[in-house]
Amino acid sequence: MSAPPDVPTQVTHALDLSRRQGFVSSTRHETGRLLATLAATRSGTLAECGTGCGVGSAWLRSGIPDDARIVTAELDHDLAEAVREIFEDDPRVEVLQADWKSLRNYAPFSLLFLDVREAKQSGPDLIAELVDEGGIVVMDDFTPCEGWPPIFEGRVDTIRQQWLTDDRFTSVDVMVAMDAAVLIAAKR
């Protein structure tokens, strides 16, 4: 088995920021590579809810084609400013210091990465309005689950169940590591 490809430069900068800020939870490499791959299939505007230290945005940026751009929203002013510095020379990435709901002004999206709990919990009804026909919604930080209904910590995982059964989306739960799963939903 060969070594994995190098981590893109902007991802490295975002991971450095994450360490300096004391973030222990940033987008994992496995999820990041999936984001970059999905981003490579998109055009138009992609978005991220919950920029954090910019790791997810950097992975998305590493994959987008020439006719795509990214808008990402982070509520914390200091984090948004620090991430803007990472992308300061990149006109295809716009970092907003704003609540994730402000992304409505930039919709519809060809890909929407929900990387903040509130956005995930808002459910398919609100999110469906933000995504193009054929657009993709990506949610990470799930624990792999083998059965139905999906169970997390002894209870039905209602977020995952909503997305996997919503008729507006074709959805799949993908295990990206032994301890991590990502939900991908394509709008019909």
Q: Is the pTM of this model over 0.75?
A: yes
- Please give the average per-residue pLDDT across 137-148, as a whole number: 91
pLDDT at 26: 82
Q: What is the percentage of the chain residues whose pLDDT exceeds 70?
A: 97
- Please give the average per-residue pLDDT across 133-148, as a whole number: 93
- Tokens at 139, concatenated: 């949610």
Name residues whose C-beta falls within 8 Å of residue 89's C-beta, 6 or more positions apart in sequence: none
pLDDT by residue (tens digit) across 67-80?
A: 999 999 999 999 99
| Domain covering 9-187: architecture | 3-Layer(aba) Sandwich (3.40)
pLDDT at 23: 80
Residues 28, 81: Cα–Cα separation, whole Å? 22
Residues 163, 145: Cα–Cα separation, whole Å? 14
pLDDT by residue (tens digit) across 21-68?
A: 988 778 899 999 999 999 999 999 999 999 999 999 999 999 999 999
Mean pLDDT of the chain: 92
Residue-range domain boundaries for the chain: 9-187
By C-alpha distance, which of 71, 30, 52 is closest to 175? 30
Helix (H) or strand (E) holding 68: strand 68-74
pLDDT at 5: 64
Q: Can you tell me whether residue 145 is helix, strand or coil?
A: coil
**Least confident interval from 38-42, 122-126, 135-139, 184-188:** 122-126
